[in-house]
Copies of this chain bind each other. A is one copy, B any other.
Amino acid sequence: MLQITSAQIRKDLSYFGRFGKQGRGYRVRHLLTELKQILGLDAEWNVAVVGVGRLGNAILNYPGFNPDGFHLVAAFDNNPRHLGEDVGGVSVEPMSAMAETVASRNITIAIVAVPSVHTQSVVDQLVECGVRAILNYAPITAQVPAGVWVRNIDPVLALQSMTTI
């Protein structure tokens, strides 16, 4: 179904250990538990959204954006128009509150949904606050020190990549 060969799956699993029984296959529940642990999906992660414009708003309100273990617990924006506003159940705070809120709510992941021009400075600020995993929606490669992970999501790039059929 996933267009992945059985050999590939076996090799991938073997990288982490031995989870099956020869001739019998895998115990699904057991394998699922092991995989969740390997992927860090057995823990709780508190997430902050920076930027509550059109996109940040959509993220905070999108019901599917709260998979097991992930909690959108903070939102930041410097636009006074949004300050104090409730977006998807979270109260919008100014950027200046970031350090304190990240620490007090134990936030480890951030989603950056600000215009490209502001992305780098927002990322710098997040890194400064101790956030080491950042999901970036701007079409920009943010520069970060070693040990910080940025994943870029760019639907426009994905669309553009469809043209070489």
Contact = CB atoms under 8 A, between A and B. Distances in A.
15 contacts: A1-B143, A3-B141, A40-B163, A40-B164, A40-B165, A41-B160, A41-B163, A45-B163, A47-B159, A54-B62, A65-B155, A67-B159, A67-B160, A108-B165, A135-B159
Interface residues of A, number: 42
Nearest to A72: B159
Nearest to A137: B155
Interface of A: 1-3, 38-41, 43, 45, 47, 54-55, 58-59, 61-62, 64-65, 67, 70, 108-109, 111, 132-135, 141, 143, 149, 151, 153, 155-156, 158-165
Nearest to A116: B64
B149 A165 contact: yes
Contacts of A41: 160, 163
A56 B86 CA distance: 24
Contacts of A111: 159
A164 B64 contact: no
Contact of A156 (B65, B155, B161): B65
Contact of A163 (B43, B55, B58, B159): B43
Nearest to A138: B64
A162 to B, nearest CB: 4
Given A135-B158, A135-B159, 13 more contacts: A1-B141, A38-B164, A39-B160, A39-B164, A54-B62, A55-B62, A65-B156, A65-B159, A67-B156, A133-B163, A135-B155, A135-B162, A153-B158
